[in-house]
Amino acid sequence: MAEGVNVRFAGELQRFIKSRVVKSGLYNSASEYVRDLVRRDYERVEQRKLDPSDSEIEAEVQAALAEFDSREPGKIVKNGKPRRKAQGRPSNFKYRA
């Protein structure tokens, strides 16, 4: 059997809830409105378990950008040739823009 939870709202929050129930016409009672809010929050939390959050995506983007070289390709090749030569590797790569 489901356990009941009683919640009391006073003042501005109580007026806000009543206005949402009356004005929207979507809910028959304050209890129905609060249950809907809790359900939506629950669904949002469950969805975040499946999808990476914006902060996780942002962290990945920042990590990728930290490894990104913003120099022009021709300069990268030009600067890499002496290094390749020092490593005993051929440096005959030609960059074509």
> How many residues belong to the chain?
97
Q: Residue 85: exposed, middle, or buried by beta-carbon count in 10 A (0-12, 13-18, 19+)?
A: exposed
**C-alpha separations of 87 from 17, 81, 90 in Å:** 72, 10, 9
Query: What residues have CB less than 8 Å from 82, skipping those under 6 apart?
Result: 91
The confidence score (pLDDT) of residue 1 equals 60
pLDDT, tens digit, for every residue of 21-77? 988 888 999 999 999 999 999 998 888 777 766 677 778 888 777 777 667 777 777
Measure CA of the first residue to CA of the last residue in the chain; give whole Å: 72
pTM for the predicted model, two decimal places:
0.48
